[in-house]
């Protein structure tokens, strides 16, 4: 019973794309918050925090996202938590993104010259003041292009949520294909929709990288 793609299918796909976007935003918000904590832990003067956050990063970076997803979706219910596919997907992505963003941001914090810490220290600023008023504002500028770039990975990785039955864009395409079997046409549309979500973000990242590099060049020229 093959039928052609109709407008109902398109609406279904667009709805899926909307859920992809929602999931991406949840993952970015949760992962951003977690990543901030991880980055602070990785750069902390307290050894226990450094060890804990580093172990977390190693563990998560060494585990496929798919396995994290299975653990939350199938594992948590066996411990007595009832869990929806959306919640499982958002939680898994948050755990996953926290580790990667945390590592990216740690690098950015550490790339602020040590002399900046020292100058702030000599002005009697406390450690927290040094971090929040001197180091982080500079780290944020360094971090913006790679963070935006990583957001593209987040959007694409949300497609894994389809395996636990969450109807985002990839799953929506699969469901339509199951009923009308037009894989080529359907997945072309799905790919196009992913492109529409990712392209603006990656274009922004490219632009930020360019202006950042240009800014660095003028800074170097000025100090030379």
Partner 1 sequence: MSVVVLKNVKKSFGSLPVLHGVSFAVAKGEVLALIGASGSGKSTALRCIDRLEIVDSGEIEVCGHMVHDPGLDLRRLRLDVGIVFQSYNLFPHLTIKENVTLAPRSVKKLDRRAADEIAMQSLQKVGLAEKADNYPEQLSGGQQQRAAIARSLAMEPKVMLFDEVTSALDPKLTGEVLKVIEALAASGMTMIMVTHEMGFARRVADQVVFMHEGLVHEAGSADILTNPSTPELREFVSNDL
| Residues at the interface with partner 1 (CB under 8 A) | 113, 115-116, 118-126, 129, 133-134, 137-138, 141, 219, 222-223
Smallest distance, partner 1 to C-beta of residue 147, A: 17
Instruction: Give CA torsion, residues 53, 59, 60, 64, to 10 deg.
Output: 170
134-142 own/partner pairs: CB under 8 Å, 24+ apart? 135/109, 136/109, 138/112, 139/105, 139/108, 139/109, 139/111, 139/112, 140/108, 141/212, 142/108, 142/111, 142/112, 142/212
Smallest distance, partner 1 to C-beta of residue 223, A: 8
Residue 195 class from Cβ within 10 Å (0-12 exposed, 13-18 middle, 19+ buried)?
exposed
For residue 105, which of 79, 142, 70, 153 has the smallest C-alpha distance?
A: 142
- Residues 6 or more apart in contact with residue 83 via CB below 8 angstroms: 72, 73, 76, 77
Smallest distance, partner 1 to C-beta of residue 46, A: 17
Smallest distance, partner 1 to C-beta of residue 201, A: 25
Residue 27 and residue 100 in contact, taking contact as beta carbons nearer than 8 Å: no
Smallest distance, partner 1 to C-beta of residue 212, A: 13
Closest to partner 1 by CB, 134 or 155: 134
Closest to partner 1 by CB, 110 or 121: 121
Closest to partner 1 by CB, 50 or 141: 141
Q: What is the CA radius of gyration of the chain?
A: 21
Closest to partner 1 by CB, 39 or 134: 134
Closest to partner 1 by CB, 76 or 112: 112
Closest to partner 1 by CB, 45 or 80: 45
Token pair in block for residue 49 = 């925090």
Smallest distance, partner 1 to C-beta of residue 124, A: 4
Distance CA 58, CA 131 (A): 25
């Amino acid at each position: 019973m093959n039928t052609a793609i109709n407008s109902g299918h398109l609406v279904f796909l667009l709805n899926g794309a909307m859920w992809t976007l929602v999931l991406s935003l949840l993952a970015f918000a949760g992962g951003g918050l977690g990543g901030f904590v991880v980055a602070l832990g990785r750069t902390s003067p307290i050894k226990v925090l450094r060890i804990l956050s580093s172990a977390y990063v190693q563990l998560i970076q060494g585990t496929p996202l798919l396995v994290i997803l299975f653990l939350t979706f199938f594992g948590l219910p066996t411990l007595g938590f009832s869990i929806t596919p959306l919640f499982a997907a958002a939680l898994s992505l948050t755990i996953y993104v926290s580790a990667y963003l945390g590592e990216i941001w740690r690098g950015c914090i550490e790339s602020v010259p040590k002399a900046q810490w020292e100058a702030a220290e000599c002005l009697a600023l406390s450690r927290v003041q040094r971090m929040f008023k001197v180091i982080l504002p500079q780290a944020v500028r360094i971090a913006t292009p790679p963070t935006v770039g990583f957001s593209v990975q987040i959007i694409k990785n949300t497609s894994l949520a389809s395996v636990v039955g969450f109807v985002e864009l990839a799953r929506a395409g699969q469901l339509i294909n199951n009923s009308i079997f037009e894989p080529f046409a359907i997945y072309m549309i799905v790919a196009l929709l992913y492109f529409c979500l990712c392209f603006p973000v990656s274009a922004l990242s490219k632009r930020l990288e360019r202006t950042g590099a240009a800014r660095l060049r003028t800074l170097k020229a000025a100090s030379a």
